[in-house]
Every structure is written in structure tokens, then in C-alpha cells.
Chains A and B, each alone.
Chain A
Amino acid sequence: MQHIEFDTKWTMVVDIDKCTGCGACMVSCQAENNIAPMEQGSNKLKTLTWLLVYELNNGKDFPNREVAYLPRPCMQCGHPACVPVCPVVATTKDEEGGIVSQIYPRCIGCRYCMAACPYHARYFGWLDPVWPGGMDKALSPTTSTRPRGVVEKCNFCHSRLLNARERARNEGMDPNKLPDGWYKPACLEGCPTGAISFGDSKNPEHKVHELIKDPNAFRILESIGMEPQVYYISRRDWVREQSDNHLAEDKH
């Protein structure tokens, strides 16, 4: 399986205990990445949301029920399962920083990558994207629009990385050593509780460098070895246990 290490590792850390499930991150993501609105949202197999907030619960009956919210972007895996299965090389992980790219015009819509992704982070455009009225006038200049029939996914708002690098070059700095906070995905900017942290986990000057070492930090389905670049933090045992598909009858 492909595994390339880069000097920079763009990493997202989500504090589950701070997420209130408000959904502002999902809306910001759609606005930034030109995801067209859908008339019906109930069929979750066909809705298109690069970032999805899952509702978790501890499985206990009232009054011992607890709920947590887990925002799930693309995990930008270190060993991405989606990359080797793509017959047309529409998805790769070959740029400094380790973001898994998705080249829409090259995608033939075979959806092998969706079948391979254990995080369900890839989305197929089942429907024609339609921006009603004049809503296409509010399209973001950062992300190309996609027709139906291709697979889409979160790319950590990659265009913002390009902008940050350009800014660094203009200011005479190394574009591959961006200061903390120069590159922020839209979901982070939209999150009102500051549950999302982002940066280069290999750079000791970035906050996430320490956060991923937090004793309560974990990655989802860590045991299958995808090496995601998205970490979560929760003080709650049951949240951490569910992250690896832990079953009640399993031994710890």
C-alpha cells in the first residue's frame, strides 16, 4: 500500500467534547467548496456533504444517556485505501503536506474509491448540481464546480493552502514552513466553539504538534492502519471506545 512521508503533515484535531453539533462547519464547508444545495436531505446515501457531523451516544437508556458529536472530514490517510484502487489515477497523495487530492475532470465515476474508504468520506454526485435563482453568483472562486457522476471529497480546503503558500512567497518566507494559523480550512473558521484545531503536526511551533500527543487523543479505526491525519480528543471513555468500532463483548 502506498505510503509517502512528507516534511509537512497537515493535521486536523477535533475536540469532540467541545462540539455542540450546531452544523456551522458543514454549512461553511458547502459555501467554501461550492457544494450545490439539495432539495431533499433525508436520503443520506445520496446527500453530498464533504464534512459530516455524526451523532454518537453511549447506548444507555434514560436517564444515563449521553450524546457526543463527531465531525468527520476526509481523513487524508497516511495509507489511503482510495488511492491504489483508482483506475484513472484521479486521486493521489503526492503533494507536500499529505493531502489526498481528487481530480474531478479525471474521475470516471467508478466509485471504487468510495468502496475502499473505511470512513465513508467520499461522496458521489448522484444529482445535477443546481444553484437556484441567482445563487450561482455567490459561488466561491476557490473551488471548481463539479457535474454529477464524479466522486468528491474534503481536501482540507486545499486552495487555502495554495493561498497561504503564495502569501509566504510574497513575504519572502519558505512556503513549506507556514506559521501556525496561516492556513485554516473553512470548517475551522465557521466553528463557533473552536472545536477544530489545524496545523502541521511535524512542526513543533504548531499547536497540533502537541495536541496529537494528548492522552485523550485518538484516531478513528486506528487498528486498520490507515494512519489518518485527523485526530480526535475526548475525555469520555465511551467516545474513545467507539472510535475503533469497539464491541461490548470485546476485551480491551
Chain B
Amino acid sequence: MGIDRRTFIQLVTGGVVGSLFTPVIWKSLDDASIWSQNWSWIPRLKYGAITEQASLSKFGASPCAEIVKSVGGSPYLTKGNGENEMSKGGVDPISASGPQLMYSPSRINGPMKKVGDGKYESISWEDAEKMLSEKLAAVKGQKGKLAVVSGDNTGTTSEVLSGFATEMGSSDCYLMPSEEQGAAVALSSMGGKGQIGYDLDNADLVLFVGADAMDSWGPVVRNQRVYSESRPTGGEITTKYFYAGSFLNNTAAASDKWIPIVPGTGAIFCLGLAFHLLKSGASASVSDFDDFKTLVMSRFTPDKVEKAIGVTGADMAAIAKQLSSASAPVVVAGSEFGAGAGAADVIAASAVNMLLGRINEKGGMKILPNLPKAVESAIDRSELAAKDFAGYLAGIAAGKVATPDVMMVYAANPVYSLPQTEAMASALAKVPFLVSFSTFMDETASTADLIMPNPTSYECFEDAQTPYGVGAAMLSACAPVTEPMYNSKATVDVILSVASGMGIDLGYESAELLFQAKAEKAGADWDSLIEGAAFVSDSTESGSIKFAASVLSKAVSMPKGGEIAFAPYSKLINGSSTMAIPPLNVVLVSKNELYGKDLLVQVNAKTAKKLGKSEGAKVKLSGAGGECVARIHINEGVMNDVIAAPLGFGHTAWDVYSSGKGDNISKILTVSTESGTGLSVWTSSFVSIA
């Protein structure tokens, strides 16, 4: 019997059908799929007991109380700590990746000394401390020879640094510029003492003027939690939120009303509201009320305000009416990007709060006491917050201030994050011996002569007192969650050790004892703090504040107009002034802010037409301090004649996740001096576009 065509087809068909019913093919496909994925380099998971411990994250712009989850003793995840009032159970997008940041490729593995331009050699802690001690011994007791700057406004570590500077005979101890600086100067100008806070929890109408409360102003996570509590999902809204600013940022997006105003004109907006309140009979029994009233009624009339900021008199009157008819309104002023707004905006907002009778009232603006100092020789917190580091460096850059021989930089990155960045960096480059106490290899550490790595807050004791903006004085602390990953040493311990060797007694032998003492002096229970609870004080400063009309009179001037105003904005997704884009945040960066390596800046269609630019057009932005390269993105969430641009790009150090992406727009911010306070300000910057 031969095989004919019919038989052949039957055999083939039978074979095919048969193969479908045999599991061999399917099993082989399944196995091949598994084998092909079973690659040797794919990491295996670590198993073990899963534990949770309260901690404090200091990665973001404001301290965040968290619960850190660990497996077999290794932290891997964080979640909010609902038991802690400081952040009320939320996490921010930087702190959310805290455990991963512990292993960031940018971590500094151990102390290093500079041996050439950009070249470092690892040294022992003993050698590093000896090197620092020798340099410090040479400047001890000499004014102007030692400068210290800290990027941690809330930690007692900054007290140790300022106490040490004082004992060394230096008056040049600073905090990096922040919202707190303008508020501290404002409160001092108004004759108050302590710290300004806002009881958002109990307000029924919150008007943010500039202050980007959901992303860069104050205790961001706490602000978000409070906002959330006032509008339960599926329930009634109990607090209205208004936002006045030049850009439709995250705070504006979440608010019930966005009031577009020209960048840097928060004080004018507030005084415009004061006009309507005064007109309707509002007053305050304060010594300079008459001066204030005269100032407002003559210089901030509706027509002048409309010309300056673009809001009509009718709209201003309506907002003022809503404020005065609310039962617990509060006005909060600040910068749209976390620094550089000066004091006038805060004074003007305080004036509105005073006219509304909202000072030290439930749901109003609070004057909080500073917690007692742990280090006797430390500068008073309010005084430290008011000191002007940008002005100091600008003075060095201009040759008007003597360059110190030694500068110590703790948890800060001034080479990257200051306005007029290139000029500021050149001033830092003049310092003969720059020491960086940094956790990460940032731009400042990359130029330092000595690097003394500080561990993350998961690896050491840490604390945080009354972050600027919260409505009550408070204190949180944490104990280490894990052993230090690298050869790092807490900066407090380094300073205490170096000070001791130089015969300076700061009163403590270790970081743990220092933080415990701080808690004790504040009246807090140390054990409760490190278990995750926050100490909260309900006291406020007694005594009234005045309008500081004479300061307002000098500090607030009407913009000339006719130029393209520059409106930087800050998003925690893109890092903060101390943190570059964390590795896990790279995929979150908007395609409308960074495309490939190009930075995108935003204008609305009308402004784009005026500039003759279309979507995607490459432009060069020039300001007083430098130039930036970017592409145009059309966004109708930007005011006319305003160009909005994201901060956080253009890093030159760090790692592949943040370096070489976009441009650093801080370069083109223009630093000027606020009349009446002498404070350096940079919210009113203008750019030319080519």
C-alpha cells in the first residue's frame, strides 16, 4: 500500500490534532517561558520576620513621621504614621522611597579628602576629624574665619552647630534659605517673638497666597492630611481652600478657587484685601494701626492693585467679603517655591489676619514659642532662622564680605540650590577649606575639601522640632531602624568629638544624649517620641504684634510691568533643595517638564504668540544671574506674560537618575534686597527669552 495524497493529509492532520491534545507542547512552552526568565542576575528576595518601627524621614523638604517596614532587619517600605501629629499619617513622594534611598548610588561610603580637582581619597574617621580639628584650631577665636550653614531647620543638630560656631568665636552660622526665614524676619519686624504657625486644622476658609502648601510650603504632608480631613470622600466640604499665585500648581489644582496673581506680588494682593476690609470697618487695637490704614488706603486702592497684580477690584472685594463672613478664616503667605519671598508677604498676610481678628485664635495664625534650647551657647532659633545666608554669600562673591577660611556645610547643597547659582558657587569656591557633612554626593560635596558622610535618619538618632507652618509647637524623634549601611558617622557625634578635642564643652557626649536632653527640656517623654508619638504643646506667645507699617511702606513696591515674569515652581517628585530626583521618582517626572535631556518651561498660548514661540521651540532664558536652555510647553495654567519653570533639574553631581537632565533654573533667579528688612529676596525675577 502506497502513501497517496489523501493518506498524507490524514497523517499530517492527525499529527497536528494529536499534538494539540498532548500536554508536551504546552508543558514545553510553559517550561521554556520559565527557564527563559530564570536568569542568574535577577535578585532573589530576602525573607525573614517582617517588623515595623516608627521613624522620621528627613529626605523631603519637611520632616515626615513614618513607620518603616523591615524584612529580616532590612528596611524596604515606609508608610505614614497616623499617631504622629507632625505629619498625621501621610508620606511624601521622596520619603516614600526612603529605604531605597539608603542604598542610592549617590551615597557617600566613608570620609574622603580632596586630592585633586574632582578627585577624592578615602580616609579614616580619625584622620578626617584630625584634619578638621587642625583647620578649626587655626581659626578659633577669630571673627569671620569660620562659617557654618545647615540645611536642617528642625533638628537639634543645627543647635549643636550654632553652639559650636559661637564657642569658636564665629557669628557666621546660618540656615539655608527657606520659608521660615521670611517669616522669622516678619515676626521680628512686627515686634513678636517665637515662630509663626497656622492652625489649618480648625480653619473653615484657608487662603494661600503664593504658599504652595501641597508641594513646597511648610509641613507639606501635614497640610495634605488636614486638607483631606476637611473634605471626606462622599461627604460635605467643611473648609474652603483658595490659592492665589501665578501658576496652576498642585495647591491651585486642589483648591476651590485659583486667583491668578503676578509672581512676587503676594504682599500687594494681601494689602489689596486689607483695603476692602478696612473700608468695611475692620480694625485692630495695635499701636501703628493708623499708619497702616493710611498706607493701605492711599497706596493699595483697587485700581492700583488691579494694575499691579491683575485682579479686579470687584474680585478683590468679593474675596475680602468671603474672608470676613467666614467663621474661622486664615491667610497664609509664602513663596511659590519654598524660599526667597522675603518678609513683606508674611507681614501683609499677618495684617489681614489681624484685621480679621485671627491671631492666636482657633483656626487662625499662631505665634508659637520656641522649644527650650538643648545647647546653651546655641543661637536662638528665631534669630538663626532670620539670618541671611544668600546675602552673606552674595557679599563674598562681590568681595564686600571677607571669605572665611573654613566653611562647614551640613545637610545642605548651596552649590546647586541657591539663586544666581553660578555666582554663589563661585563664592563657595573661594573658601580655602570647605567641609561637607552630607549623606549623598551632591554638588557641594563634590567640590568640598573634606567630606564627612552623615547617615540617613533611619541609621541614627534624629529629631525634629516645630517645622515651619504647623499650628502648634511640637517635637518628634527617632531611634535607628538599622545599622549604618556605610562608614558614616552622625554629624552631631563628629562635632561633639571635635569640640571636645578643642576644649569646647557643648554639654553632651553623644547624639542620643543630646536628643534626650532636648526632649526633657521641652517636657516630652523620650520613650514615647522614639516609639512614634509627637510631643505637642498648646501654648502660644503672649503679647500682641503690630502691623510693621513702616516696613511695609518701604518693602512693598508696585511692579513696573511689561516684562516676562519668571515663576519657578517646586515639586517633590523632582526632589528638593537638598535631594536630587530619587531613583524611584524618575518615571514620575512629567513629560511636560523633562523630555529626554531637555527641560520644558511653560507659557500660555497668548504669551507664546507674543514671544513668537510654538510648542517645543528651543529657547534660551536669560536672567541677571545666568542663562538656561529649555523648550517651550504651552500650558493654559500659566498667567499671561509669565513663564513658569520647574526646579530640581540640571544636576551635575548625584547619579544617573538625576544628573545631566534638564537645566537648573535657579541660575537665572535674580537676588535683590528687600527694602525695610535688608533681606535677600528672589521671587520677583524677570527673564528675557531668545
Contacts and interface: CB of A to CB of B under 8 A. Distances in A.
B605 to A, nearest CB: 7
A41 interface: yes
Given A15-B233, A18-B231, A24-B96, A141 B91 contact: no
A144 interface: yes
A204 to B, nearest CB: 15
B553 interface: no
Contact of B588 (A23, A186, A216): A23
B254 A20 contact: yes
B265 to A, nearest CB: 16
A211 B234 CA distance: 6
A119 interface: no
B181 interface: no
Nearest to B64: A192
Interface string B42-78: 1111111010000000000000000000010011111
Nearest to B658: A39
Interface in B225-245: 225, 227-229, 231, 233-234
A104 interface: yes
Contacts of B588: 23, 26-27, 41, 49, 53
Residue from the set A40, A131, A186 with the largest chain B CB neighbour count within 10 Å: A40
Interface in B89-111: 90-93, 96-97, 99-100, 102-105, 107
Nearest to B607: A62
B583 A37 contact: yes
A38 B586 CA distance: 7
A171 to B, nearest CB: 17
B39 to A, nearest CB: 6
A192 B221 contact: yes
B586 A18 contact: no
Contact of A137 (B46, B215, B604): B46
| Most B CB within 10 A of own CB, among A23, A44, A47, A144 | A23
B33 A107 contact: yes
B618 interface: no
A202 to B, nearest CB: 18
Q: Size class of B's contact patch? A: 35 or more
Contact of A24 (B34, B92, B248, B657): B92
Contacts of B104: 132-133, 135
B45 A139 contact: yes
Interface string A135-147: 1111111001111
Contact of A140 (B77, B250, B591, B638): B77
B33 A41 contact: no
B495 to A, nearest CB: 28
A194 B228 contact: yes
Contacts of A135: 100, 103-105, 583
Nearest to B92: A24
A135 to B, nearest CB: 4
Given A17-B231, A24-B92, A140-B77, A61 B37 contact: no
A38 B229 CA distance: 35
A20 B29 contact: no
B637 interface: yes
Nearest to B47: A141
B590 interface: yes
Contacts of A242: none
A252 interface: no
B234 A192 contact: no
A15 B321 CA distance: 30
Most buried by A among B33, B90, B656: B33
B79 A189 contact: yes
Contacts of A38: 586-587
Contacts of B42: 129, 145, 147
A169 interface: no
24 contacts: A17-B254, A20-B215, A20-B250, A22-B214, A22-B572, A23-B572, A26-B587, A26-B588, A37-B584, A37-B657, A41-B587, A48-B587, A61-B606, A62-B260, A62-B606, A67-B637, A88-B33, A108-B29, A132-B656, A138-B75, A139-B76, A141-B76, A190-B91, A193-B225
The 5 closest A-B pairs by CB, nearest first: A192-B90, A37-B583, A27-B96, A136-B43, A192-B224
